[in-house]
Chain A
Amino acid sequence: MATDFMEFQAARLPANIPSRRLRVDRVQWLQTAKALRESKARFLTFWGADDRDRDGGFRIYAAYLLPDTVMVVEHFIEDSPAPSYPSIAGFYPAALRMQRSVYDLLGISTDETDSRGWLRHGGWPETLFPLRRDVDGSRQYPIASGPYPFVPVEGDGVHEIAVGPVHAGTIEPGHFRFSVVGEKVLRLEERLGYTHKGVAKLFENTSQQNGHRLAARVSGDSAVAFSWAYCAALESITETVCPARAILLRALALEHERLANHLGDLGALGNDGGFAFGLTQFSRLKEDLLRANTVAFGARYLMDYVVPGGVAFDLPADARCRLLDLYDALEPSVNQMRSIYDEHAGLQDRFREAGRLEQSTAEKLGAIGLAGRASGIACDLRVDHPWTPYDSLVPKLIVRSGGDVAARVQVRFDEILESLRLCRALLSGPPIETIHTSVPVAAPDLLGIGLIEGWRGPVMIALETGPNGGIRRCHAHDPSWQNWPSIEYAILGNIVPDFPLINKSFNLSYSGQDG
């Protein structure tokens, strides 16, 4: 078989879950993508790096999730006036936007016909590729925005509605172009990239010991997941073993992040469904949790809690009781709110059948994480690839097959209850002992990955070390990348006024995908 090389050439790759690295040539790049698609491997992320200073070319990497391992496939591209590689979007459509971004940042292109910029909106020159090593990332350029041709929809009575980038609420910016007949949506095309902040370039000027802080700010609502993924990558490279207690506290923080976001979303979904009472109640429960975070972790949002080698703050002696009280108060409240939601005819009318993402579509698009699980995609890293401490916690896999707003609501309810169980179990772990160990400086040119199931889905960091404790390249991936295209399908046939509700039911990160 043409892909036999995959079996024996893959080398072990430092990571928190079993991972392998496979170097392939141009032909094999496509063959592996095809073979992996056929074996139902899930696509995790795609990134590129400028290695011309080291060995005269560029590298691209694609990471896939197999039942027993993560496979990082690497392909070297010789430098030339127009470096290119074959697109894998035919097998994994989610790669399309990532490939466009890699062109915007590195100037290496594919054979795809869509050459519109994704991250570059005219804020820097077309011929400048900021992630190349010979480009000074601190320079500023005047804006020269050109047209961005959306795919037109023609026909009797079809018109377009343009929404964004600034939206009517406290949410992140992005542009949505609806083609509608009357109120019915025939097509939605997203345009993102508005919050691109050059995170990848910033990492190159960040030390290994400080990278977790930048990682936490890739998407603030997933700060624990990102900073943990970063630390997991660095600790795997340096073979650092974190104290057991630090690992438990990280998991506790991660579950609190899941709880906070799910509570917030359930409130917002009630509100968007015309039931403001839901927002009042859930925003109150979320606030209770955030205030408990201040006691337990030293902050409401845990931007700097997970640090290389452990955590920054030990659970104070009285926090354990406070947290257990909080869980005891939260659980019946959530159960009561669930029955209120379930019995509210008006709300259910808005939730059911709205924004349906069929399982087959979700499979094709590569939807992942919470949104995937609501469409029957049974994938949760905590369950399928448990890293410590999830291996001993054995979280329950939560899957629904409905694929509509109602299913995404139910997944959130179920996950809250399961997270509360995990939190209680985590609090019964070892008592006060050390929460931090020192992490040695990693040698240059080592690659490691960290993969954490955040509340939205798998968050991944691919870290390549540089000399003198620096970072050569760090790629941060938010699962929103895979799931944004799903919304374009979920909205089809729905009415425009339902878009905020449907969009909220996915609640994807703009900042996380824009980078």
Chain B
Amino acid sequence: MFNTISRMLHTGLLTEPLPAPDQTAPTLATRQKELLKILGRALCIRHVDAGSCNGCELEIQALNNPYYNLEGAGMKFVASPRHADLLLVTGPVSVNMEEALKRTYDAMPDPKLVVAVGDCGACGGFFGTTYASRGGVARIIPVNLTIMGCPPSPAAILDGILRSVRPTETEDLKGTVSQ
């Protein structure tokens, strides 16, 4: 126990400010307020791996580490799509996961957001469109926003999630994202 407490004290508070893509980017407090205004509570995120190489998962998991501290920013991962506002999808959609992805999407209550993560989620990446892969997520379910990268960094993912929640940003993207 002594060890645990001493390690806690030694580690201190590591959480960093949220990513600031531009100079006018809001602070953590305003982001939290914004989320609260739009949703009235924390943003609930459900992740689905639709066939990724597992690289993108690693960076999504990193969002929970103390540096990014996702929950501190008013967002949390939930275990069921029925509890989720936002679906985070990784990977190209493999034909073997197509059905499961559609069902997960259908199980979410409206209104819902979908964010496709990684080059694969955006357009199929290295795996493209083949007998085994349907390509990008937007070919199977409607996508509000894509985050490029292979894999994208946790900061980029966090930034994408925050942008997807602001109605103006996703509307701008709708036309360009769906293929």
Contacts and interface: CB of A to CB of B under 8 A. Distances in A.
A438 B102 CA distance: 46
A172 B54 contact: yes
Given A220-B53, A281-B11, A283-B66, A264 B96 contact: no
Interface in B93-120: 94-100, 104
Interface in B116-154: 125-134, 150-151, 153
Interface stretch (B17-25, B29-37, B43-51, B161-169): B43-51
A94 B115 CA distance: 38
Interface string B37-72: 000000000011111111111111110111100000
B58 A264 contact: yes
A277 B8 contact: yes
22 contacts: A123-B96, A124-B95, A130-B132, A138-B129, A140-B129, A143-B95, A165-B97, A170-B60, A172-B52, A172-B57, A194-B51, A196-B94, A196-B96, A201-B131, A214-B126, A218-B53, A277-B8, A280-B66, A283-B62, A286-B62, A301-B55, A303-B55
B65 A286 contact: yes
Nearest to B135: A140
Interface string B1-17: 00110011001001000
Contact of B132 (A170, A172, A196, A217): A196
A219 B53 contact: yes
Interface in A171-203: 171-173, 193-199, 201-202
A195 B51 contact: yes
Given A166-B104, A340-B4, A171 B49 contact: yes
Given A221-B58, A287-B67, A140 B134 contact: yes
A139 B80 CA distance: 34
Contacts of A201: 130-132
B49 A197 contact: no
Given A123-B132, A170-B77, A284 B95 contact: no
Nearest to B58: A221
A151 interface: no
Interface of B: 3-4, 7-8, 11, 14, 47-62, 64-67, 77, 79-80, 91-92, 94-100, 104, 125-134, 150-151, 153
Contacts of B129: 138, 140
Contact of B127 (A198, A290, A340): A198
Contact of B67 (A140, A277, A284): A284
Q: What 6 pairs across the A-B complex have the smallest Cβ distances?
A: A220-B55, A123-B95, A198-B132, A168-B79, A283-B65, A220-B53
A337 interface: yes
B129 to A, nearest CB: 7
A165 B100 contact: yes
B131 A213 contact: no
A219 B54 contact: yes
Interface in A145-170: 145, 165-166, 168-170
A287 B66 CA distance: 9
A169 B79 contact: yes
Given A140-B134, A173-B51, A197-B92, 9 more contacts: A121-B96, A165-B100, A166-B104, A171-B49, A202-B126, A202-B128, A279-B64, A300-B59, A512-B54
Contacts of A165: 97, 100
Nearest to B124: A197
Contacts of A223: 55
A8 interface: no
B58 A130 contact: no
A303 B56 CA distance: 11
Nearest to A340: B3
B117 to A, nearest CB: 11
Given A170-B57, A173-B49, A195-B51, A284 B66 contact: yes
A264 B61 contact: yes
Contacts of B54: 172, 219-221, 509-512
B57 A197 contact: no
B55 A217 contact: yes
Nearest to A343: B3
A113 interface: no
A166 B80 CA distance: 10
A281 B7 contact: yes
Contact of B131 (A130, A283, A300, A343): A130
A323 to B, nearest CB: 19
B132 to A, nearest CB: 3
A3 interface: no
A130 B14 CA distance: 50
Interface string A428-447: 00000000000000000000
A194 B48 contact: no
A175 B52 CA distance: 16
Contacts of B11: 281, 284
Interface string A326-360: 00000000001101100110000000000000000
Contacts of A119: 96
Contacts of A93: none
Contacts of A198: 127, 130-133
Given A173-B97, A194-B97, A277-B8, A202 B55 contact: no
A137 interface: yes
Contacts of B67: 284, 287
Given A219-B54, A223-B55, A300-B153, A137 B131 contact: yes
Nearest to B92: A197
Interface string A9-28: 00000000000000000000
Given A140-B134, A143-B95, A277-B4, A220 B79 contact: no
Interface in A219-239: 219-221, 223
A330 to B, nearest CB: 14
Contacts of A277: 4, 8
Nearest to A337: B7
